[in-house]
Amino acid sequence: MSQKIKENNIIRFPVERIKGRRPAPSDFPENPSTGNEYPEHQWMDIEDELWAKEDFEELILLHKKQLEEAPQDNFARFSLAQAYFFNYDYEKALETLHSLHKKMPDDPDILYFIVEVLLASGKTDDDFNWVEKPEIINLTETVMDACYNMLKPGYKTCSIDHLYNIFFEKGYLMFTQEHLLAALADDGRFLVTHPESSDTAEVGIITQPLE
């Protein structure tokens, strides 16, 4: 992975998905038939080659050409925003995403990508003209209390993945599984076994809080 991609991988931006299984046109159900110069698979072949080279400037040119031929191609526009992002052109990435956001205001891929670009550019979620603003979830006492209440009824242990995914479905998480694990281990209400790794850790609650 290049230094450029490492630097741009803030918290949750799906670098592995982009490089290995980037969103496909079918991920955008409203995407129209493009009528592009090349069949869809040929565009993807060219795109794959440029991604392998991490040639984001050429990717920008490629997706611009796609949009010239099919201005309503939502997939090409999303891909253009990705290329801008990895080429450090955050303003153009946000501008491109805003046009998509207006069309699909509740699409989570678009919403969370906007948050990532804002973070990468040193901005906050208040620096964007949202149609529908995603919930931004920080690792607060509210999150810790929710974990406690979820575990309390049966006093059963569960994995970090299980706890994390509860919040993952609710909004954009400003913390990783490792952050959650560390916070749980430091909270006297929880008993964490195998805390050395979020892959193996199990979390339960202490029935009699330690004094």
Cα–Cα distance measured from residue 111 to residue 106, given in angstroms and rounded to the nearest whole number: 7
Residue 38 tokens, joined:
């090349």
The model's pTM: 0.75
Q: Provide DSSP, 24-57.
A: PGGGSTTPPP---SS-HHHHHHHHHHHHHHT-HH
Mean pLDDT of the chain: 82
What are the distances in angstroms from CA 85 to CA 9, 57, 79, 203? 10, 11, 10, 37
Q: pLDDT tens, 115-170?
A: 989 988 889 999 999 999 999 999 999 999 999 998 987 678 899 999 999 898 88
